[in-house]
Amino acid sequence: MKATTADPGTRPEIRKDGGDVLRRWWTSESNEFAGRNLALIGVLVVLIALGALTRPDLYGDPDWVRNNVFTILQQASAIGVVTVGMTFVIIGGGIDLSVGAIMALAGVWATTVATQSFGAGGMIFTAIAVGVGTGLVNGLLISYGRLVPFIATLAMMVAARGLAASISGKQTQISGNATINGIASTEILGVPLLVIILVVVVAAGWVLLNRTTFGRRTVAVGGNPEAARLAGINVRRHTLLLYALSGLCCGIGALMLTAQANSAQAAMANLYELDAIAAAIIGGTLLSGGRGTIVGALFGVLVFSTITNLFAINNLTTESQNMIKGGIIVAAVLIQQFRFGSLTKLFSRTA
């Protein structure tokens, strides 16, 4: 037996030239994208390959494939926008359980008869204002009212659905506005507008998180609020802004969903909060705050909408889809925990 494998308690020192360099490469900041998201890209590739294998008749048609890619992206668009806001909130050390309810409220309010009479501009303004307004209420309750985020946003989740049901008279509010409905079918240079909105929001989120003071403060507040306060960051105000940002994303998402369904309903965007949290987490965002990536969250959303698509083209049930979803959440987080650093350790130990 070799000396290197005799004591599993100490880190193997051989392969310093190989394993260690590799490990440093995978875990270094510049390769965070590859290290964290490669697993998710792998999952996406596997899912698409499974689709091509099970339905070669469909995947043999290039027009269908192009159309399907945009379908998957469009299905991911509204939840993707909301997930960007959710990722900021979670990185900042909070949680927002009210996103689905806020989307329903914003959508329903924007489609009431009274609001629709102001035209598309009125509807857009209303949805955004309701989103930001409810986000601010969440933020005020949490940062200045000192409520735990879980409780404050849980209360908002219940209250916003109630308010949405009351405003809509429990009826489906049909949007008769051609401009709003047109958002779902407009294409610019062959790319659906919904996909463009998603890309713009994700890009804006990435810049905000990685290239601005606001982003650095978010990470600081989520990582250690006390240290952030001592460093001169107004933690309360920052927390308030994070929830307002999440609300803004909900308002945009609500408009996208309303455009897609040509209507809004108090029950719509059901359980979006859980999908958004799951997508953020499997995208590499730490649930306890202080770390996370926007691009990872986008991949998380894409994995979910690709699964839905794969199951639909093979006529499989929603139940089995949900079980697979659960498995993927666990697998993705496990893969992140045993990242490549641990894997090289594993290999060198068994070598």
Partner 1 sequence: MIQDASRRRLLFGGAMVGAGALLAACTSNEQAPTAAQTKGPEGDNANAAPGKAVTIGFSAPAADHGWMAAITNNAKAQAAAYSDVTFNSVEAGADAAAQRAALDTLISQKPDAIVMLPHDGKELTASGLKAMQAGIPVINLDRAFTQALAYRVMIKGDNYGMGVSAGNFIVAQMKAKGVTNPVIGEIAGIDSLELTQERSQGFKDALAAAGFTVANRRAAEFTVDSGQREATNLLQALPKIDALWNHDDDQGVGVLAAVSQANRSEFIMVGGAGSKAAIEAIQADNSVLKATVTYSPSMASSAISLARLVAQGRGLSDLVELSVPKDITLASETITKENAANYLQLGF
Which DSSP symbol is given to 31? G
Q: Does 308 bind partner 1 (CB under 8 A)?
A: yes
- Near partner 1 by CB under 8 A: residue from 161, 225, 249, 340: 161
Contact 19, 347 (CB under 8 A): yes
The smaller minimum CB distance to partner 1, of residues 31 and 71, is found at: 71
Hey, which residues between 239 and 258 contact partner 1 (CB under 8 A)? Answer: 257
Q: Which residue has the tokens 């070669």?
A: 56
Please report the DSSP string for 220-281 in residue order. HHHH-HHHHHHTT--HHHHHHHHHHHHHHHHHHHHHHHHHHHTEE-TT-STTHHHHHHHHHH
Q: Which amino acid appears at position 297 of this protein? A: A
For 187, residues 6+ apart whose C-beta sits below 8 A from its C-beta are 193
Q: Does 349 bind partner 1 (CB under 8 A)?
A: no
- Near partner 1 by CB under 8 A: residue from 41, 196, 313, 343: 313
Q: Does 326 bind partner 1 (CB under 8 A)?
A: no
The smaller minimum CB distance to partner 1, of residues 137 and 335, is found at: 137
Q: Which two tokens stand for residue 339?
A: 């990242």
- Near partner 1 by CB under 8 A: residue from 26, 88, 109, 340: 109
Q: Does 77 bind partner 1 (CB under 8 A)?
A: no
Question: Taking Cα atoms as reference points, which of 39, 93, 156, 96 lies closest to residue 277?
Answer: 96
The contact mask relative to partner 1 for 206-225 (x = CB under 8 A, - = no) is: --------------------
- Near partner 1 by CB under 8 A: residue from 40, 48, 82, 164: 164
Q: How far apart are the C-alpha atoms of 321 and 202, rounded to whole Å?
A: 26
The smaller minimum CB distance to partner 1, of residues 189 and 271, is found at: 271
The smaller minimum CB distance to partner 1, of residues 1 and 53, is found at: 53
**To the nearest whole angstrom, how small is the minimum distance from the Cβ of residue 83 to partner 1?**
16
- Near partner 1 by CB under 8 A: residue from 24, 25, 66, 67: 67
Q: Write out the H or E segment, with its range, that includes residue 67.
A: helix 62-91
Which DSSP symbol is given to 142? I
Q: How far apart are the C-alpha atoms of 105 and 127, rounded to whole Å?
A: 8
Q: Does 64 bind partner 1 (CB under 8 A)?
A: yes
Q: How far apart are the C-alpha atoms of 305 and 313, rounded to whole Å?
A: 12
Helix, strand or coil, per DSSP, at residue 186: coil
- Near partner 1 by CB under 8 A: residue from 21, 34, 114, 287: 114
**To the nearest whole angstrom, how small is the minimum distance from the Cβ of residue 285 to partner 1?**
24
Q: Does 288 bind partner 1 (CB under 8 A)?
A: no
Q: Which two tokens stand for residue 269?
A: 């965007």
Q: Which amino acid appears at position 151 of this protein? A: I
**To the nearest whole angstrom, how small is the minimum distance from the Cβ of residue 263 to partner 1?**
5
The smaller minimum CB distance to partner 1, of residues 39 and 164, is found at: 164
Burial degree of 338 (CB within 10 A; 0-12, 13-18, 19+)? exposed
Number of residues near partner 1 (by CB under 8 A): 61
Helix, strand or coil, per DSSP, at residue 338: coil
Measured in whole angstroms, how far is the alpha carbon of residue 51 from the centre of its chain? Answer: 23
The smaller minimum CB distance to partner 1, of residues 315 and 350, is found at: 315
Q: Which residue has the tokens 């806020």?
A: 102
The smaller minimum CB distance to partner 1, of residues 140 and 343, is found at: 140
Q: Does 312 bind partner 1 (CB under 8 A)?
A: yes
- Near partner 1 by CB under 8 A: residue from 19, 23, 39, 74: 74
Q: Does 263 bind partner 1 (CB under 8 A)?
A: yes
Conformation bin of residue 315: beta by default, left when phi > 0, alpha when psi is -120 to 50: left
Q: Which residue has the tokens 């240079």?
A: 189
**To the nearest whole angstrom, how small is the minimum distance from the Cβ of residue 261 to partner 1?**
4
Residues that bind partner 1 (CB under 8 A): 55, 58, 61, 64, 67-68, 71, 74-75, 109, 112-115, 133-134, 136-137, 140-141, 144-146, 159, 161, 163-174, 181, 184-185, 257, 260-270, 308-309, 312-315, 317-319
